[in-house]
Structure 1
Amino acid sequence: MSSNRGKTPRLMGEKRQKKQPVKRKKAAPAKRRRAATPAKKGGNVFTRFFRGIFRWITRLVWIVGSRVALIGGLVVAVAVAYFYVTLPPVTDLLDGRTRGSVTILDRNDKVFAWRGDQFGGQISADTVAPALKNAVVATEDKRFYWHPGVDPIGIASAVRINLREGRGPLSGHGGSTLTQQTAKLLCLGDPYDPQKWKNEAAYEADCRRTTLWRKAKEAIYAMAMEAKYTKSEILTIYFNRAYLGAGTRGFEAAAQRYFGKSANKVNASEAAMLAGLLVAPTKYAPTNDLKRSQDRANLVMGLMEDQGYLSAKEAAVAKANPAQLSRAAQARAGGYFADWVMESGPAFLTNDTTEDVIIRSTLDQRIQRAAEDAMQYIFETKVRAGSEAQAAIVVMSSDGAVRAIVGGRQTKVSGAFNRATMAKRQTGSAFKPFVYAAALDYGFTPNATVVDEPYCLNVPGSGEYCPKNYTKDFKGKVTLTQALAQSLNIPAVKVSEEMGRDAVRKIANDFGIESDLADGPALALGASESTLLEMTGAYAGILNGGQSVTPYGLIDLRLQGDREPLFTQQGGLGERVITTEAARSLTYMMSRVLAEGTGTRARLPGREAAGKTGTTSAARDAWFLGFTADYVAGVWMGYDDNTPLTGVTGGGLPADIWKETMVRVHEGLPVKPLPMTVPRQTPTFATETNTNTNTRPRQTNRRRDPDPVERVLIDILRGVFGN
């Protein structure tokens, strides 16, 4: 029994010993196989070396890169934090203009022109028409509501497009988000400083520069904005500051400018047109090319449909009813007039204003259209194709209130050369009424006579001066009325010399011709220069009975929101220049110019009118100025480079333009007689005179036999004026 108990432990021990070696045998071959694996794959000492180097470089790059990224992230975070604390409240960023706006109203208080930077007032992204908000997001940044200010997907897409189109990665498409665009509008927080920048244009050009450093700064500033403001607030800033063409800043100003309504009320097609302006405001401005702007709007509506902002039906309806300009925007009335009015006010409240200003003016849009249409009609029907001749028109009331100005053939302009107010040209025979005004004011009547005959003067320093008539002949004894109607040169010079050039010059100056007038006898023939506006104003003085007139277009000027104007009309009626009777007699004489003289082509059907033609030496300038009982109008025609006109005189195309203008201007107005005095049919002359031009003769109606001294004086006078 004992021996059996001793065997049992031994047998168990042997089993344990047998199991242990088996485990070791199984483990040993496994280790050998793992050790042999690299050798089977071709590993050697060189492979192991380079793999080690690669692992070391990878670890080094990871370590350095992670630390650089960490440091870069910290720098970006600090920069974002810096801009975050410097960003002002949203309300301080809505109007960033460096100058104000000028809104110009016509005589009926309707807006017809805008100047300066228009700002329609602050609007909010929460109150604008939903279609407008959607159009802007769909066009400019479809992931606006999901990115933190920078859109890596958009940047990568823009770089790919730029490279594919052969440009640099930062040239062309920028991949900017709406937040980045807003940051650029804010010039990354750098305000305009007149001491630093030459002008506002230079400042804005610098704000638009695209460099790698500036793009990086722009991205940081955009992220700071995203941290500081809500998405709605960022959109609000953008909606108020974006430039949208035609001098408009912000969508409210643009909606008012183009459609005559608030940005809160625009429909889908109008919203799409406004959003379409963002890519190129001047190019796509509807006032420049409405069709191009409508085509661009169609593309925007397509984006809105693709992104779910418009259903297919809504998009189709919007495209079928494209946005149209308001009547005021479509008319673009009075560009020349608006420019002139801007110059007539103080610069700090007009061209250089930092305030928003309202100007009430004398413009009549109906008369402005009449003048523009008349010019276009004559040039289309009576002027040869390809002609570069220019023309200008001024229409005013007898008190000097200017109702229309056309400064050239291109009527829809702003800031262009205004031939009606800026061009000083020789007036030719259009100056002669002032010569005869001197004679009439001295006491002569329209039936006084003067001899048209060969006539020469010795001009000190210049030699002999012998005026010639345009027709190269002589008419003999003619009345003053006939001399003016036929525009005879010799009688005009004779009357001027007898009355005295100083007297003629003073009357012309007093009537408003401020240009330097000639000193020699050619003064009577319009050798001096003047503007069309001055000449028309001088003729207005004849119509109103002999009072001087200062043409004016500004009625009053006030700051937006104020009721009381800062200043009012600067112009109108002035002092008396000639007697009322002299003015009425001169009006009669000028009426005969249209009835039987050089201005017959200007006759108005069924309405009395008076005027005068004017053609300068070599036909470089042609004029027609005249008036009815209601309005005065002046027309000039010529070339900007003084090239002579071919076959054109004042009684030709200028008279045609004048007639077409006045027919349109008087449409629907009652017929009124001219304020004129028709003289007796027998020739008369002053009964008291003196050859000394400093002494005025006095007209009397009482007939008596002259004494011997008077007879001598009358004989002298007859030598000039005849019996």
Structure 2
Amino acid sequence: MSTSGRKKSLVAEKRSFAQAARSKTRRKGGSGSGSGGGKRPRRRAPARRRGPLGWIAALTRFLIGLVMSVIWRSAAVVALLIAGAVFYFYTQIPDMAELIDGRTKGSVTLLDRNGDVFAWRGQQFGGIVDADNLSSNLRNAVVATEDRRFYQHFGVSPRGVASAIRINMREGRGPFEGHGGSTITQQTAKLLCLGVPFERGAGMTEAQYEADCRRTTIWRKVKEAIYAMALEAKFSKQEILTIYLNRAYMGGSARGAEAAAQRYFGVSAADLNVAQSAMLAGLLVAPTTYAPTNNLARSQARAATVLKLMDDQDFITPDQRQAALERPATLSEAAAAQAGGYFADWVMDVGPDFLTTNTTEDVVLRTTLDQRLQRAAEGAMEQIFSEKVRDGSAAQAAIVVMSADGAVRAMVGGRETKVSGAFNRAAMAKRQTGSAFKPFVYAAALDLGFSPNATVMDEPYTINVPGSGPYSPENYDRRYHGRVTLTEALKDSLNIPAVKVSEEAGRESVRRIAADFGLDSDLAAGPALALGASESTLVDMTGAYAGILNGGRAVAPYGLTELRIQGEGETLMNQENGYGERVISETAAKQLVYMMSRVIQDGTGTRAKIDRPAAGKTGTTSAARDAWFVGFTADYVAGVWMGYDDNTPLTGVTGGGLPAEIWRETMLRVHQGIEPKELPMIVPEPVQQQPVQEPDPQQMTEAQRQLEQELQRQAEQQQQRQQQQRQPQRQADPVERILRGVLNDIFGR
């Protein structure tokens, strides 16, 4: 027998005893119970006994296996869905150059008369700046503050989300209310509104669009995370940081780091130091709240927190942190001044909308503002209110300073001077002008040929107004002063002579002259026109007085001198002056200037007296709801209004009081360093007082002749009534009464 045969039998020998027995039985066809020498008995495997614990363990293993199977299959499906969504967003994301500047409006930079920047409006954008070219201090400050694991994650930080949810729930909010745990990439996704651009006319305003982009819901957080991962797949970390730092709003109308650096510090974003970088990074959490132009101390406190985070993460050394704390960032001179907020708003309103408030371009406006004069007006307002207005008073005031050609040099629209977008009482509030209107009454008389020395009787006077009944004006002091010159009547602000002169010159003439000077807002039709019953804004009233100063030519107050697109040399529009047509003769204007100079010299406006020749007029309306002082020197015109926004009467204030003092303080500051000049006026020759001479009948209109006849008839009737009141009635004696009785009896009478 060969050894090869034995080798084949080795396969069978490996089977178990039971298998061999079953195989042998099947070959013989038996049941395996028959006898046979040498047969081994069948061997059974012992049965496993399962108690309760065994069944529980088996069930547990089954359930765990089932759950794990579902989980990994579900995870695979979710992963595929996420990958598909990421790929979809990846294909929709445009190139980085299209994502840098996401503004829907342009910016407006306002320059003063010298070409220096004093204000910004719209959305400022300093230009595209690559993150590699930004100051490393700013990059580090932003990463330390907003996303310390920015360079390690794939767009989403699960640890950060979990931490934010834990903090929100611990503070009693919903899991996604408050802290969001967003990475810089997720914040960039939110700035891009997940790739949904703003479309005008789509039924949503820009403010609503931005609010919708900032909404925080579970579904939106999921989309935000997916879009963030698509951004990570599309761009490098530096590119994402570039998009973020160019699109992020940083308060003060500044969009992006470059605009913010220029807006607050007057430097490029590449040159920011540690303290400045910390302040800008601190703005990102709440730009308006922490803007240094709103509250510098609060912004510096926030910057200190950022410095600590930078130190903790080894972006700066403890010495650098201490140095930055000792010398915190401060605003540039232009940003700190916040000059001309009311003026800037006014220019934006009066300029063409498509190049100011609604511009889609970056526009540069050159204006008439003089920052020195603006500071003078603001300082005067603050000083008078701090020294002479009681604490808690809600009284308001406004100031306008302009040149004789209508160029507005300063504007303060309320007692709060450092504001933007506030209610501008200088340009928006229409108030009754009171006696400040009277110069235009006398302008009409002077233009007709009356002399400043012409006289008028200050006496009881009544006019029968058709449809209204008798109108009887009274003087402020409730007294009558007899015959006075026109100069005296204006100087002492007498009401009765003003009404008489208005009626003598003709109301239509007064109304025309006032309207031509710029006061064309619903002028009163009755005799109360002469006493300032009509309304006007302070800027229009100041402009009308400028017309008196410049020799009788109308002016249109203006603030914009040049408009151009930023980066382009071509000027789109410009204005050199605001002169209009002549309203009154130059002689009449110069005579009126003399009459108004007496107001300050020894009339109702003596509290406005300054160290140089000046002229002006006080104004107080009925019940003292409005108080005015408007006046000028040879160099500047200034107007002051004071009152309550709700028309509450002022207490103890007239135009010759606090408004005159504000005017005086303003003009003293305005004229610092300017040599005094004489006013352009004609001083009349001293002559004996004469009654008012009637003008040549040939030059009078038919309406004026009829008015003269009616006034003469009324005067005669009034004189007769007064004579009758003065004559005592004669009493008949007893004998006469007896004789009259006898005669009546005889003749039956």
TM-score, length-normalised on structure 1?
0.90
Quote the offset at 1:691 in angstroms.
6.1
Q: What does residue 532 of structure 2 align with?
A: 526
The one of 639, 657, 678 equivalent to 2:644 is 639
Residue 647 of structure 2 aligns with an amino acid whose one-letter code is N
Q: Greater CA deviation, 163-172 or 361-370?
A: 163-172
**Distance change >3 Å, CA 667–CA 223, structure 1 → 2:** same
Contact 1:546-1:580 within 8 A present in 2 as well: yes
**Structure 2, unpaired ranges of 5+:** 1-42, 703-707, 717-749
Deviations 1:76-113 (A, max 9, x none): 11111111111111111000011111111111111111
**Aligned pair count?**
666
Quote the offset at 1:416 in angstroms.
1.1
**4+ runs deviating over 3 angstroms:** 683-688, 690-696
* CA–CA separation in structure 1 for the residues paired with 2:572 and 2:532: 40
Quote the offset at 1:514 in angstroms.
1.9
The one of 651, 657, 666 equivalent to 2:656 is 651
Q: What does residue 541 of structure 2 align with?
A: 535
Q: What does residue 702 of structure 1 align with?
A: none
Deviations 1:105-132 (A, max 9, x none): 1111111111111111111100000000
Q: What does residue 13 of structure 2 align with?
A: none
The one of 140, 145, 149 equivalent to 1:143 is 149
Quote the offset at 1:692 in angstroms.
8.1
Does 2:247 match 1:241? yes
* CA–CA separation in structure 2 for the residues paired with 1:361 and 1:588: 32
Contact 2:450-2:693 within 8 A present in 1 as well: no
Deviations 1:377-401 (A, max 9, x none): 1111111111111111100000000
* CA–CA separation in structure 2 for the residues paired with 1:156 and 1:498: 86
**Distance change >3 Å, CA 35–CA 653, structure 1 → 2:** farther
* CA–CA separation in structure 2 for the residues paired with 1:540 and 1:354: 36
* CA–CA separation in structure 1 for the residues paired with 2:258 and 2:275: 16
Residue 632 of structure 2 aligns with an amino acid whose one-letter code is F
Residue 621 of structure 2 aligns with an amino acid whose one-letter code is T
* CA–CA separation in structure 2 for the residues paired with 1:461 and 1:646: 34
Q: What does residue 679 of structure 1 align with?
A: 684
* CA–CA separation in structure 1 for the residues paired with 2:514 and 2:328: 55
Superposed, which structure 2 residues align to 1:54-65 within 5 Å? Answer: 54-65=60-71
Quote the offset at 1:417 in angstroms.
1.0
Superposed, which structure 2 residues align to 1:268-347 within 5 Å? Answer: 268-347=274-353
Q: Secondary structure at the match of 1:540?
A: helix
Q: What does residue 597 of structure 1 align with?
A: 603
Quote the offset at 1:693 in angstroms.
7.9
Q: What does residue 555 of structure 1 align with?
A: 561
* CA–CA separation in structure 1 for the residues paired with 2:372 and 2:424: 20
* CA–CA separation in structure 2 for the residues paired with 1:361 and 1:355: 18
The one of 402, 411, 434 equivalent to 1:405 is 411
The one of 487, 492, 515 equivalent to 1:486 is 492
Contact 1:599-1:651 within 8 A present in 2 as well: yes
Q: Secondary structure at the match of 1:423?
A: coil
Q: What does residue 358 of structure 1 align with?
A: 364
* CA–CA separation in structure 2 for the residues paired with 1:687 and 1:598: 27
Does 2:509 match 1:503? yes
Does 2:252 match 1:227? no
* CA–CA separation in structure 2 for the residues paired with 1:574 and 1:527: 26
Contact 2:448-2:695 within 8 A present in 1 as well: no
* CA–CA separation in structure 1 for the residues paired with 2:699 and 2:540: 27
Q: Greater CA deviation, 404-413 or 537-546?
A: 404-413
Contact 1:104-1:113 within 8 A present in 2 as well: yes
The one of 587, 610, 616 equivalent to 1:611 is 616
Q: Greater CA deviation, 344-353 or 531-540?
A: 344-353
The one of 159, 164, 189 equivalent to 1:158 is 164
Residue 605 of structure 2 aligns with an amino acid whose one-letter code is G
**Distance change >3 Å, CA 433–CA 693, structure 1 → 2:** farther
Quote the offset at 1:695 in angstroms.
4.8
The one of 98, 102, 124 equivalent to 2:108 is 102
Q: What does residue 634 of structure 2 align with?
A: 629
Does 2:129 match 1:126? no
* CA–CA separation in structure 1 for the residues paired with 2:161 and 2:559: 53
* CA–CA separation in structure 2 for the residues paired with 1:126 and 1:89: 18
Quote the offset at 1:448 in angstroms.
1.0
Q: What does residue 669 of structure 1 align with?
A: 674
Deviations 1:256-297 (A, max 9, x none): 111111111110000000000011111111011100100100
Does 2:65 match 1:69? no
Quote the offset at 1:197 in angstroms.
4.0
Q: Greater CA deviation, 678-687 or 572-581?
A: 678-687
Residue 502 of structure 1 aligns with an amino acid whose one-letter code is E
**Distance change >3 Å, CA 406–CA 35, structure 1 → 2:** farther
Residue 366 of structure 1 aligns with an amino acid whose one-letter code is R
Residue 544 of structure 1 aligns with an amino acid whose one-letter code is N
* CA–CA separation in structure 1 for the residues paired with 2:682 and 2:205: 59
Deviations 1:2-56 (A, max 9, x none): xxxxxxxxxxxxxxxxxxxxxxxxxxxxxx9x989x9xxxx73332222222111
The one of 192, 200, 210 equivalent to 2:198 is 192
Does 2:367 match 1:367? no
Residue 679 of structure 1 aligns with an amino acid whose one-letter code is P
Residue 299 of structure 1 aligns with an amino acid whose one-letter code is T
Quote the offset at 1:524 in angstroms.
0.5
Contact 1:445-1:684 within 8 A present in 2 as well: no
* CA–CA separation in structure 1 for the residues paired with 2:165 and 2:584: 77
* CA–CA separation in structure 1 for the residues paired with 2:145 and 2:203: 33
Quote the offset at 1:684 in angstroms.
5.7
Contact 1:444-1:684 within 8 A present in 2 as well: no
For the aligned residue pairs, the C-alpha RMSD in angstroms reads 2.1
* CA–CA separation in structure 1 for the residues paired with 2:129 and 2:149: 23
The one of 429, 449, 455 equivalent to 1:423 is 429
**Distance change >3 Å, CA 226–CA 300, structure 1 → 2:** same
* CA–CA separation in structure 2 for the residues paired with 1:113 and 1:464: 54
Contact 2:449-2:695 within 8 A present in 1 as well: no
Q: What does residue 468 of structure 1 align with?
A: 474
Q: What does residue 585 of structure 2 align with?
A: 579
* CA–CA separation in structure 1 for the residues paired with 2:496 and 2:300: 62
